[in-house]
Amino acid sequence: MLTLSWLLGERHEDRATAEPFESGIVTVGFARYRFPVKFYLIAMFFVVFDLESVFIFAWAVAFREVGWAGYIEVALFLGILLAALAYLWRSGGLEWGPAPRGRYLANPDPTGRR
């Protein structure tokens, strides 16, 4: 089917045919910009915590069948999840913007004097 449509299809060699069309907006500039690593980290954190919410929802649906053993397991799971979130928060993994000036400096004086 693909070969047949390619053989019988219409050919256009216009300049406008090769350009991407994005909702009627004319493209300007280069589309392949590099995103900062923080963007990918935030995206990965979102995927991980979103997936864990699915596990918690599955536990909530089967709450009566799993009993106290399931309750203890999900409490342990939530404890590990909160510990991971606290670690991310303390290590600065959730900060999107630039770090405030002087935050990581123990002694802001460059000469070493106080």
Q: Is the dihedral of CA 45, 47, 50, 55 positive or negative?
A: negative
Q: What is the pLDDT of residues 26-81, one digit of tens each?
A: 667 776 777 777 788 888 888 888 888 888 899 899 989 988 999 999 999 999 98
What's the whole-model pTM score?
0.51
Task: Provide the CATH number for the domain formed by 35-96 in this structure.
Answer: 1.20.58.1610
- Domain ranges in the chain? 35-96
How far are the Cα atoms of 76, 85, 86 from residue 79, in angstroms, in the given order?
A: 5, 10, 10
Please tell me the predicted confidence (pLDDT) of residue 75.
93
